[in-house]
Amino acid sequence: MTKKAIITGATSGIGKALAQLLSNKGYSLGLTGRRTELLEELKSSLPGSVYICTMDVAQKDEAMEQFQQLIDKLDGLDLAIINAGCGQANPDLNWEMEKQVIDVNVMGFAATANVAMRHFIKQGHGHLVGISSVAAIRGYHDVPAYNASKAFVSNYLQGLRHKAVHARLPITVTDIKPGFVDTKMAQGEKIFWRASTEVAANQIYRAIVKKKSHAYVTKRWRLIAWLVKLLPQWLAHKL
């Protein structure tokens, strides 16, 4: 039977690469993002069945309704990839920038993940994937809201995984923590170990197939995560 997936934030970067990969693997897709023309372009380039929806996840009530409508159009859902996100350096603590990150990465994430998870619980199975970040592990002076928003994402996913286990339901919840991936979001960063979007999408797909609960993208970022976790505060303050 054809598998059905929704990817939020599919107009560019990691989400777009995942859409291309899953469509080539035979998935029927529901794709979202704010830039309608990019969604239309992507749809016409993909081999499989695709529904698109112009969605701003910061408008959370509308986004939740639209997400449910996409599930209805697909006539079910096997895989939800909650990927839409934003973030940029904000050294001056500009409140509008902090707020936007929280609206999109926290409220928008939780709102769309909530609709997907409730659907999976109702149907008795499913796979929820959230795109967090290595940034979730520790706060950082230039991007306090971004790192905190990703800590929320990972912790929320942990709670949903726990819920599925408690309910004894075959629902997989996967927390993806990318390091640097070559997208607009990573521009201007002090970049090292930067993966292409294709490599990132392939590694995320492998984590999905293996039903992993956690995956670092690329895998070597596990080492950085381990070091960042162990770093004493006095040393972290020097960075």
Ligand X SMILES: NC(=O)c1ccc[n+]([C@@H]2O[C@H](COP(=O)([O-])OP(=O)(O)OC[C@H]3O[C@@H](n4cnc5c(N)ncnc54)[C@H](OP(=O)(O)O)[C@@H]3O)[C@@H](O)[C@H]2O)c1
Q: Is 204 in the site for ligand X (CB under 6 A)?
A: no
Which two three-digit tokens encode residue 224? 């950085």
Q: Is 143 in the site for ligand X (CB under 6 A)?
A: no
**Catalytic residue ranges:** 146
The phi, psi pair for 173, rounded to 5°, reads -125, 120
**What's the min distance (Å) between Cβ of 125 and ligand X?**
25
Residue 232's SS3 state is: coil
**What's the min distance (Å) between Cβ of 239 and ligand X?**
18
Q: Is 136 in the site for ligand X (CB under 6 A)?
A: no
Select the span of 120-128, 159-167, 177-185, 204-212 touching ligand X (CB under 6 A): 177-185
Q: Is 228 in the site for ligand X (CB under 6 A)?
A: no
Q: Is 110 in the site for ligand X (CB under 6 A)?
A: no
Select the span of 43-51, 90-98, 184-192, 230-238 touching ligand X (CB under 6 A): 184-192
Give the helix/strand (H/E) hosting 42.
helix 36-45
**Nearer Cβ to ligand X, position 123 or 212?**
212
Strand duo 50-54 + 79-82: pairing: unpaired
Question: CB atoms < 10 A from the CB of 128, how many?
Answer: 23
**108, 158, 114: which is closest to 8 by C-alpha?**
108
3-state secondary structure 81-143: EECCCCCCCCCCCCHHHHHHHHHHHHHHHHHHHHHHHHHHHHHCCEEEEEECCHHHHCCCCCC
**What's the min distance (Å) between Cβ of 35 and ligand X?**
4
Select the span of 40-48, 78-86, 205-213, 229-237 touching ligand X (CB under 6 A): 78-86
Question: Contact positions toward ligand X, by CB under 6 A?
Answer: 9-15, 33-35, 55-58, 83-87, 104, 131, 133, 178, 180-181, 183-186
